[in-house]
A and B are shown apart, each in its own frame.
Chain A
Amino acid sequence: MIANHLPRIRHILPMATVQRERKLDGPGVLTVRVREKVQSTDVIAEVQPRPRHHFLDLASALGVSDTDAARLLRVDLGSNVEAGQILAGPAGIARRTVRAPANGEVLSLSRGRVLFEAREEPRAIHAGIPGTVAGSDGASSITIMAVGALIQGAWGNGRRGWGVLRDVGESPSARLEPSELDMMLRGAVVLVGVVDDATSLQKATEIPIRGLICGSMASELIPIALHMPYPILVTEGFGAIPMNSPTYDLLSTNAGREASLEAALLEPYEPQLPEILVPLPATQDVKSPERIVQLQPGVRVRALRAPHTGAVGSLLHLMPGVESFPSGILARSAMIELEGIGSVPIPLSNMEVIA
């Protein structure tokens, strides 16, 4: 029997092919070509930070009329100028001039004023994952194809990073103690069960680590986590929830390998979800993850809510009609054989398929 229900899907795959898009958030230059191989650290594009603008009142600064200001402009509209370069003048006995406030470009001149666009140094965009450039629009987007272990998470602090994976707590429920963060973890992606202490997050900055993967985190730490310079990826949710066993097993067995973290912010209409990729050599054709999976006997599921939050099991059968739960709520449900717990009914809404 297959349910009339589209379950959430969480990818926890020992081997998958993924395609990830890197979008430029402004004008820039792509520095790689399609079919080129890239490493996580490779620069694949340079993007121009959003420029700042200045209105420079030439007429007033030079003490001349609007018409004369136009005549005294010494650079062409649209041409690049350097900081300090004379833009207009000299004028008058004092030989007044107007200089460029920064490197940039004079965009327009109107009523004796110029609009000046100040430019900063371009910012490098890194590949973030090792793979092959699979596609590009030639201007603002690059797609990288990579193979490896793929683990999706629940929440991220909006940062991306990579480093060697280190299992600090050696248990899916181990709490991160500040004392465990030492110089041995410099440049590492740290794997722990639970984070409930701001000191640990701060201390990790000082080392510095390259990333943090935890099963859960106290929600009161969210504002701090959002300001940390390294990616933080939470696999289960908020509170003190141990990391689900397939995720922990897959990550801990890959300790010592490089891991790429995409700790994407929660944006329901953006394609990028929080995820970890542990790049692995492909031995054969590796499939891409499924987008839609039917809820049917045998599929592995993970419970999303109390009383078994984060527990993983196998779907035994879909229950006919609706089931009543301790809250009194009636819901379409499935009987799940949860690892270490036994057979329990769980509402279809409160589970996700591991695929």
Chain B
Amino acid sequence: MSTILEADTLLAVDVGTVNTRVSLFDVVDGRYRMVATGRASSTAGAPVFDVREGMHVALDEVSEITGRPFFDESDALVMPTTNSGAGVDAFVSTASAGPHVRTVLVGLMPGVSMESARRLASSTYLNVVDEIGLMDVRREAELVDAMLAAKPDLILMVGGTDSGATASVIRQIESVSLVISLLPTVERPALIFAGNTSLGASVAEHFQDTSKVTIVSNIRPDLEHEELGPARLKLAEIVNRLRSQRIAGFEDLNGWSGGYMMLTADAFGRVVRYLSQVYDPDKGVLGIDVGASHVTVAAAFDGVLNNKVHSDLGLGISLPGLLRYASVADVSRWLPTEVPDAEVRDYIFNKAIYPGTIPAELTDLHIEYALLRELVRAGLSLSRSDWAVGASSELMPPLEPIIATGGAIARAPRPGYAALALLDAVQPRGITTLVLDPYNLVPAVGAAAGLLPMITVQVLESGSFVSLGTVVSPVGRGREGKPVLRIRIEPESGGEPIEGIVRFGQLVLLPLRQGEHARMTLRPEKGFDVGFGGRGKAGALRVAGGALGVIIDARGRPLELSKDPAHRRELNQKWLYDIGAMLQSES
């Protein structure tokens, strides 16, 4: 979206699998602010199958807060704002709800075009049900039957660099063309060809009597380059179209958005990429969104975004998928109390049945946050191999900031729960900032960025996002209790400086309120690196406070948990107290 609007009020709707969120932005003192937000159960699924029901309930909440009506008597969105203050000037919408698009990838070489196709597919809400490449050992007839059995919504064809293979690409296209001819017209999937550009006309010709094929620029124009952008745009269109065919109301949202309804993951990735261009160029920006049906991991390094949507992970219906990547014991190791494995396993499957429920009991909360840690770990582990920086290292690359969103993170009873879960799961190194998006505004500002470029930076700088604090995570290992670093914090407000020694194994909070700044001096011991150019290197920098102040995580990188279950649970409990997630009266 490139049209830049003169608009004061913006309404943003995000339709998730479990929740539909509505946010109203307005100009306050010359800057965009989120002025009201509403949330309701999503109604994209059974039994309603109409996203407008949930949206209207969430909007009623916003109307109650602001006194502003949004719809006229004919149930049409009022746009622009009327003199009486009804309606809004601009509208954006994003969605992650809806059935996954069953996709068959057809390409050539496993490490080249197929690899790029996989990356493209994993950047959005596709469910890859089969892959057919040149190295496939199945017989030709078996491949035809496999494609038919897959019942794809989409066949994504790739292969051939722009000056490369043609014959082998055409053979693959012929197979797909045959499959399409065997399907009844109503069951024919959408077709995209994103391979050798010179074959565009020939590919179109193969399908001219059966189906419409969309031809986009080659995702692998040569062996060294990958260009996923144009194909990703087309995929977004197809995902939106398939959703609209199955669920009512998406067309209205798309219409009110001027035809530019975005996928939530794309809007999320847009913000992460933008931040990587304005923050420290030596560090990456990491965004994590743990939804009910997906975990989205967006990492950007100097403007280069890697965005992955893990549709088999999520803290709802997709939760059982976690057991492909982690065992029940992997989850239980984060618990501060003993919980039988069978109970944890039952919890996973019950949460899949009732994804909108929340943990009211303390043990349930601990299980939920243990699951959250493993979901983030699995999402990162599956994403990192494609990152531009630090893909092969066991340690995280330097990151600034780390932004987290999603229902479980947003409703943490105390900021310490979210902070500890992120520290355990991400294990950042050196110095970073943890930021929470409790109102799920990242997709909204991402979608609005094309219309109102200033909104992204102005809302991000407003109090709608919660900075948990600056985190210092020295890299290195030592004996429990051995000094790791000396720290001095001099608040700019002129208060008393804080000085002390942090020892290995400690998790320490130093007070520095949100909005306050201080000069922080770090003198690590010679075996520890805090990011000032190597082990033992000291340095100073200006830091910002947060809900938890400054967090020193001296538990070592990589974090190694005790092998003794009782000691491990004791430490998990201690860390919850140390970071302020639990009070001594709770156990």
Contact at A304–B354, with CB atoms within 8 Å? Answer: yes
Contact at B141–A50, with CB atoms within 8 Å? Answer: no
Which residues A1-40 have CB closer than 8 A to chain B?
4-9, 27
Contact at A6–B53, with CB atoms within 8 Å? Answer: yes
Contacting B141 at CB < 8 Å: which of A55, A154, A155? A55
Shortest Cβ distance from A333 into B: residue: B360
Contact at B364–A305, with CB atoms within 8 Å? Answer: yes
Which residues A92-119 have CB closer than 8 A to chain B?
107, 115, 117
A326 to B363: give the CA distance in the assembly, Å.
9
Contacting A273 at CB < 8 Å: which of B40, B41, B46, B345? B46
A273 to B353: give the CA distance in the assembly, Å.
11
Contact at B359–A219, with CB atoms within 8 Å? Answer: no
Given the known inter-chain contacts A238-B350, A307-B360, A349-B357, please indicate yes or no for A292 contacting B48, CB distance below 8 A. Answer: yes
* B98 CB within 8 Å of chain A: yes
**B2 to A: closest C-beta gap in Å:** 33
Shortest Cβ distance from A327 into B: residue: B365
Contacting B346 at CB < 8 Å: which of A8, A50, A219, A327? A219
* B149 CB within 8 Å of chain A: yes
Contact at B346–A239, with CB atoms within 8 Å? Answer: yes
Shortest Cβ distance from B99 into A: residue: A269
A237 to B357: give the CA distance in the assembly, Å.
13
* B6 CB within 8 Å of chain A: no
Shortest Cβ distance from B407 into A: residue: A349
Most chain-B CB neighbours within 10 Å: which of A50, A237, A328? A328
Contact at B342–A155, with CB atoms within 8 Å? Answer: no
* Residue interface mask B242-279, A partner, CB < 8 A = 1: 00001100000000000000000000000000000000
Which residues A282-310 have CB closer than 8 A to chain B?
291-292, 304-307
* A186 CB within 8 Å of chain B: no
* B533 CB within 8 Å of chain A: no
A55 to B60: give the CA distance in the assembly, Å.
61
Given the known inter-chain contacts A325-B360, A326-B361, A330-B413, please indicate yes or no for A237 contacting B354, CB distance below 8 A. Answer: yes
* A52 CB within 8 Å of chain B: yes
**Chain A residue contacts of B413, Cβ below 8 A:** 327-330
**B159 to A: closest C-beta gap in Å:** 22
* Residue interface mask B219-246, A partner, CB < 8 A = 1: 0000000000000000000000000001
Which residues B174-218 have CB closer than 8 A to chain A?
178, 182, 184
How big is chain B's contact interface, by range? Answer: 35 or more
A291 to B354: give the CA distance in the assembly, Å.
18
* B10 CB within 8 Å of chain A: no
Which residues A340-355 have CB closer than 8 A to chain B?
346-347, 349-350
A52 to B182: give the CA distance in the assembly, Å.
12
* A281 CB within 8 Å of chain B: no
Given the known inter-chain contacts A4-B57, A53-B144, A268-B317, please indicate yes or no for A331 contacting B358, CB distance below 8 A. Answer: yes
A155 to B346: give the CA distance in the assembly, Å.
13
* A271 CB within 8 Å of chain B: yes
* A83 CB within 8 Å of chain B: no
**Chain B residue contacts of A117, Cβ below 8 A:** 182
**Chain A residue contacts of B139, Cβ below 8 A:** 55
**Chain B residue contacts of A329, Cβ below 8 A:** 358-360, 365, 411, 413
Shortest Cβ distance from A306 into B: residue: B361
* B140 CB within 8 Å of chain A: yes
Contacting B247 at CB < 8 Å: which of A115, A269, A291, A305? A269
Contacting A50 at CB < 8 Å: which of B46, B49, B149, B363? B149
A9 to B246: give the CA distance in the assembly, Å.
21
Contact at A327–B359, with CB atoms within 8 Å? Answer: yes
A50 to B140: give the CA distance in the assembly, Å.
17
How big is chain A's contact interface, by range? Answer: 35 or more
Contacting B47 at CB < 8 Å: which of A55, A107, A271, A306? A271
**B529 to A: closest C-beta gap in Å:** 36
* B148 CB within 8 Å of chain A: yes
Contact at A9–B346, with CB atoms within 8 Å? Answer: no
**Chain A residue contacts of B246, Cβ below 8 A:** 269
Contacting A306 at CB < 8 Å: which of B352, B360, B411? B360
Which residues B90-110 have CB closer than 8 A to chain A?
98-99
A12 to B363: give the CA distance in the assembly, Å.
31
**A225 to B: closest C-beta gap in Å:** 11
Contact at B349–A238, with CB atoms within 8 Å? Answer: yes
**Chain A residue contacts of B41, Cβ below 8 A:** 5-8
Contact at A269–B45, with CB atoms within 8 Å? Answer: yes
* A121 CB within 8 Å of chain B: no
Shortest Cβ distance from B148 into A: residue: A50
Given the known inter-chain contacts A5-B40, A269-B246, A292-B48, please indicate yes or no for A27 contacting B362, CB distance below 8 A. Answer: no
**B58 to A: closest C-beta gap in Å:** 8
* A183 CB within 8 Å of chain B: no
Most chain-A CB neighbours within 10 Å: which of B40, B46, B414? B46
**Chain A residue contacts of B499, Cβ below 8 A:** none
* A75 CB within 8 Å of chain B: no
A326 to B359: give the CA distance in the assembly, Å.
9
Most chain-A CB neighbours within 10 Å: which of B40, B47, B57? B47
**Chain B residue contacts of A52, Cβ below 8 A:** 141, 145
Contact at A268–B359, with CB atoms within 8 Å? Answer: no
Contacting B145 at CB < 8 Å: which of A53, A222, A292, A307? A53
Contact at B345–A219, with CB atoms within 8 Å? Answer: yes
Contact at A237–B414, with CB atoms within 8 Å? Answer: no
A338 to B424: give the CA distance in the assembly, Å.
39
Contact at B354–A305, with CB atoms within 8 Å? Answer: yes
Contact at B57–A5, with CB atoms within 8 Å? Answer: yes
Contact at B364–A268, with CB atoms within 8 Å? Answer: no
* B43 CB within 8 Å of chain A: yes
Most chain-A CB neighbours within 10 Å: which of B17, B139, B342? B342
Shortest Cβ distance from A329 into B: residue: B413
5 tightest A-B CB contacts, nearest first: A328-B413, A327-B365, A325-B360, A239-B346, A269-B99
Some 20 contacts from A to B, beta carbons below 8 A apart, are A6-B57, A8-B354, A53-B144, A53-B182, A55-B141, A154-B353, A219-B348, A220-B342, A238-B353, A266-B353, A268-B45, A268-B99, A291-B47, A306-B363, A306-B364, A325-B360, A328-B362, A328-B365, A331-B360, A350-B360
5 additional A-B residue pairs with CB within 8 Å, beyond A27-B184, A115-B178, A305-B354: A6-B43, A6-B53, A6-B57, A107-B182, A327-B360
Residues of A within 8 A of B (CB): 4-9, 27, 50, 52-55, 107, 115, 117, 154-155, 218-220, 222, 237-239, 266, 268-271, 273, 291-292, 304-307, 325-331, 346-347, 349-350
